[in-house]
Structure 1
Amino acid sequence: MKTTEIEHSTIEKQAELARLIERFSSQDGVHATDISSLYFIRSSNTTVPIYQVHEPALCIVAQGKKVVMLAEESHHYGISDYLVVSVDLPISGQIIQASAEAPYLCLRLNFDPHQVLDLINEPACSANPSTGSRRGLYVSQTNLPLLDAVVRLVRLLENPQDVAVLAPLVIREILYRILQGNQGESLKQLVMTGSHSNRITEVIQRIKQDYDKPLRIEELSQLANMSPSSLHRHFKEVTAMSPMQYQKQLRLQEARRLLLSASADAADIGFQVGYESPSQFSREYARLFGLPPISDIKRLRRDQGHWSY
């Protein structure tokens, strides 16, 4: 197929994906589907930054634009790009292009790293453990084979009786296409047993499990089989932040969730997520979210627009 034909086919697939997402998400919000790992997101408006701990997933924007912040890094993506998050990361996401006439339309396909590990045992996807670590989030350019597989997955929703048998096969193809992409090596290294990146994912899971407890770098170093300095370096390569900064993000995002869902005192919530000083909790909360806890929660409840993208 000639370059111009590929470009034309890619544009057609992008338009078809937008039509399908709009069909299955007639209102703004996050929409679950009959495929348990597949979600559609629609918004008729741009948004303020929305904070979440993003689990491993592929995100493809079919219409509109978004920017994702990971620590101090900003990652922009729109209809010609896709986002891969390959390890649990605390991020903020902001829709920067959307309107009632042309709403933001996005597909999110969650995946289990074990699905990727199963694929890299195939000769076409094999990799060797790297001495370096790779970032757990990246944006890459969408290509026709990936778009074609994604559209076929969404089309399965038109025939629910086919989902149980065919969806796992198409999802496997989608993951294969990602691994074959120009940044697929990053995903390979994060799931490959023995790689530095994979050992950091084990540390991340421990920090998530014990986010409200004091951070013990020596224990984390032993878990990763690294020196403290090596752990710090590889952790920052994967997450763009130090273990302490990562834990702080987890604590503050969980505190915000608890404050939104309960009427508990802010100081009590601070203690609950691991802070020993109410003043330190309030100060760090304001630094991340822009306002102290009570003022921030009042703003969120007033706006009635806080939901996870």
Structure 2
Amino acid sequence: MSEKIYKQQGELAQLIERHTGRDGSHVTDIPSLFFSRYSYLTGPNYGVYKPSLCIVVQGDKELLLAQERFRYGPADYLVASVKLPIKGQVTEASSEVPYLALKLEFKPNQILEVLHDSQIGVGKKENAKRGIYVSRIELSLLDAVTRLAGLLDNPKDIPVLVPLFTKEIIYRVLQGEHGGVLKQMAIEGSSTYQISDVTEYIMNNYDRSFRIEELAEIANMSVSSLHRHFKEVTAMSPIQFQKQLRLQEARRLLISESTDAADVAFRVGYESPSQFSREYSRMFGLSPKEDVKHLRGEI
């Protein structure tokens, strides 16, 4: 890693520390920008990643998409091109050198705007690729991200400059080695674009049953093509994708509400509480009752 990148990361680390000051995930005055700070290793956390750029400036993080691992630290950046259910954990952090990171979320229309306004161009439709990738960080991207985050010290500049700096950041990512993956997300009719329509549909209807033919119709694909492209983007089948969403939501409900597992099972779409309990235990390592007791004890 070059000395200039190391220096830039130091500046960004100071900025994140200044605007967090305590462990946890933090929203900022820039609606699409989020900071994270942890002075300890975290256990597996489950959630849905929206299309976003993630940069770690101190420490290390590991994401699990289905059975596929993505590890990244200060030398890398991670991009999620579609909404995906993931498991993540901080794997390097201490009170002396806390884990510091940021996430910038974006939308397909922002990518399309950059493609139209730059010489990158929309280009041709390509076959779908994995919806998450890790690349080596470059100074030009890190500089643009630092300037965006630096607007938090000058709030009056946020309304005017955030759209400009965000556009530059997306432009830098599109120029990266895996930029084509992000580009396909915005090209209407590409297989990635079509699969993102399906993932969006499943997320909005995770609690009900659906036929695979219904999903194929949404994607305007044959059933076999849908299976192939969906697995390529998400590393799982539509049913596995839905199951992840159901179990994540079930866990959230069990922690936030005083309700029993059977009730939650029905609310997230399960017809059999025993099946729910088995799949919950398989995903989280404990039965619903034991898991909630453990998590509430941690809180």
TM-score (norm 1): 0.95
Contact conserved, 1:134 with 1:190, CA < 8 A, in 2? Answer: no
Q: Aligned partners of 1:224 and 1:164: how far apart in 2? A: 36
Q: What is the SS of the residue equivalent to 2:168?
A: helix
Contact conserved, 2:126 with 2:184, CA < 8 A, in 1? Answer: no
Aligned to 1:307: none
Deviations 1:41-91 (A, max 9, x none): 000000111000111111100100000000000000000111111111000
Instruction: Tell whether 2:14 aligns with 1:13.
Output: no
Q: Aligned partners of 1:125 and 1:104: how far apart in 2? A: 35
Pairing partner for 2:145 from 143, 150, 153: 150
Aligned to 2:261: 266
> Percent identity over the alignment?
56
- Give 4+ residue runs of structure 1 displaced > 4 Å after superposition: none
Pairing partner for 2:170 from 175, 189, 194: 175
Instruction: Tell whether 2:247 aligns with 1:256.
Output: no
Give, as a single letter, the amino acid of the residue that structure 2 aligns with 1:267.
Answer: A
Give, as a single letter, the amino acid of the residue that structure 2 aligns with 1:180.
Answer: Q
Matches within 5 A, 1:127-276: 127-276=122-271
Give, as a single letter, the amino acid of the residue that structure 1 aligns with 2:185.
Answer: L
**RMSD of the TM alignment (CA)?**
1.1
In structure 2, the CA distance between the partners of 1:131 and 1:125, relative to structure 1 (3 Å rule), is closer
Pairing partner for 1:91 from 80, 86, 90: 86
Aligned to 2:99: 104
Deviations 1:210-242 (A, max 9, x none): 111112111111111111111000000110000
Q: Aligned partners of 1:131 and 1:140: how far apart in 2? A: 20
Q: Aligned partners of 1:37 and 1:161: how far apart in 2? A: 17
Q: Which deviates further from its counterpart, 177-186 or 121-130?
A: 121-130
Q: What is the SS of the residue equivalent to 1:182?
A: coil
Contact conserved, 2:125 with 2:189, CA < 8 A, in 1? Answer: no
Deviations 1:13-60 (A, max 9, x none): 111111111111110011221111111100000011100011111110
Give, as a single letter, the amino acid of the residue that structure 1 aligns with 2:284.
Answer: F
Runs of 5+ unmatched residues, structure 1:
1-5, 305-309
Q: Aligned partners of 1:164 and 1:171: how far apart in 2? A: 12
Give, as a single letter, the amino acid of the residue that structure 1 aligns with 2:111.
Answer: V
Aligned to 2:20: 25
Instruction: Tell whether 2:295 aligns with 1:300.
Output: yes
Pairing partner for 2:275 from 250, 273, 280: 280
Give, as a single letter, the amino acid of the residue that structure 2 aligns with 1:169.
Answer: L
Q: Aligned partners of 2:111 and 2:254: how far apart in 1? A: 36
Q: What is the SS of the residue equivalent to 1:124?
A: coil
Instruction: Tell whether 2:55 aligns with 1:60.
Output: yes
Tell me how far 1:122 sits from its aligned partner: 2.9
Tell me how far 1:167 sits from its aligned partner: 1.2
Q: Aligned partners of 1:214 and 1:31: how far apart in 2? A: 35
TM-score (norm 2): 0.98
Aligned to 2:36: 41
Tell me how far 1:123 sits from its aligned partner: 4.3
Runs of 5+ unmatched residues, structure 2:
none
Contact conserved, 1:215 with 1:244, CA < 8 A, in 2? Answer: no
Pairing partner for 1:70 from 58, 65, 79: 65
Q: What is the SS of the residue equivalent to 1:121?
A: helix
Contact conserved, 1:214 with 1:274, CA < 8 A, in 2? Answer: yes
